[in-house]
């Protein structure tokens, strides 16, 4: 099997302080996720939720993963009209977000 390399944006997300966990999850998993699924060229998208209190020293409520064929494709998607709309939605439910871009080497 040939190794597959994708570029992934990981977004570490901290919920908006004025929202309950339920409100935060509802917005992220429904409103924001629907916007994200419209990004052009995206190969895969997942949302990873952390159980409250399980990792008390980790200040995030979860993280998203967006896979693309190249970093250029990722950047183009975020600059597209869909990407601009997606990023504009973040203040509606996010207090803080840390974005990372990594090379994802699929091994299995």
Q: In this predicted model, what pLDDT tens digit does every residue of 13-61 receive, in sequence order?
A: 999 999 999 999 999 999 999 999 999 999 999 999 999 889 999 999 9
What's the pLDDT at 2?
Answer: 63
Domain residue limits, the chain: 9-106
* Domain 9-106, classified CATH 3.30.70.100, yes or no: yes
pLDDT at 1 over 90: no
Supply the DSSP string of 35-104, one letter for each residue.
Answer: HHTT-TT--EEEEEEPPTTSSTT---SEEEEEEESSHHHHHHHHHSHHHHHHHHHGGGTEEEEEEEEEEE
């Amino acid at each position: 099997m040939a190794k597959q390399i994708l570029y992934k944006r990981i977004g570490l997300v901290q919920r908006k302080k004025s929202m309950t966990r339920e409100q935060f999850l509802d917005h992220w998993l429904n409103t924001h996720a629907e916007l994200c699924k419209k990004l052009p060229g995206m190969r895969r998208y997942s949302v990873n939720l952390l159980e409250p209190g399980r990792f008390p020293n980790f200040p995030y409520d979860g993280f998203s993963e967006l896979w693309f064929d190249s970093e250029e494709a990722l950047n183009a998607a975020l600059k597209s009209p869909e990407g601009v709309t997606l990023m504009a939605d973040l203040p509606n439910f996010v207090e803080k977000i840390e974005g990372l871009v990594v090379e994802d080497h699929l091994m299995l």
